Amino acid sequence: MARGGSPDTPLAREVLRRAAAIPPGFVTTYGDLCPRAPRFAGAVMSTSGDRVPWHRVVRADGSLAVGDRQRELLAAEGVPFRGERVEMGRAWVPVSSASPETAAPRARSAPR
């Protein structure tokens, strides 16, 4: 990938590590993966293939960047939607600098 988006850069590796920490049934945003450069996170994710759960990364407003296939995968995990967007109040989880094993999802407000 051009312009530093190679998975071999430290920043790209951090984006992929954070994406791998997103638990099933939850989502995070491109800005959460790379606060200083959300578009960079999108570029890295677009080349990641199935190495990380790419479908769990959405836009800040809950809209889907990839479309129908992404929605199918999220729905299969039980991610709640309101219309065409992920219900971020229930499905968003912060992805911190913690290791994937210690990342704790935020409690849901209601059962699905």
Q: pLDDT by residue (tens digit) across 78-112?
A: 999 999 999 999 999 998 744 333 334 444 444 44
Average pLDDT over residues 34-56: 93
pLDDT at 86: 98
| Confidence tier at 30 by pLDDT (50, 70, 90) | very high
Give 77's contacts (C-beta < 8 A, 6+ positions apart).
Answer: 24, 25, 56
Task: Please name the CATH architecture into which domain 10-91 falls.
Answer: Orthogonal Bundle (1.10)
The answer to whether 79 and 72 are in contact (CB under 8 A) is no
pLDDT at 37: 93
pLDDT at 4 over 60: no
Domain limits, the chain: 10-91
pLDDT at 111: 40
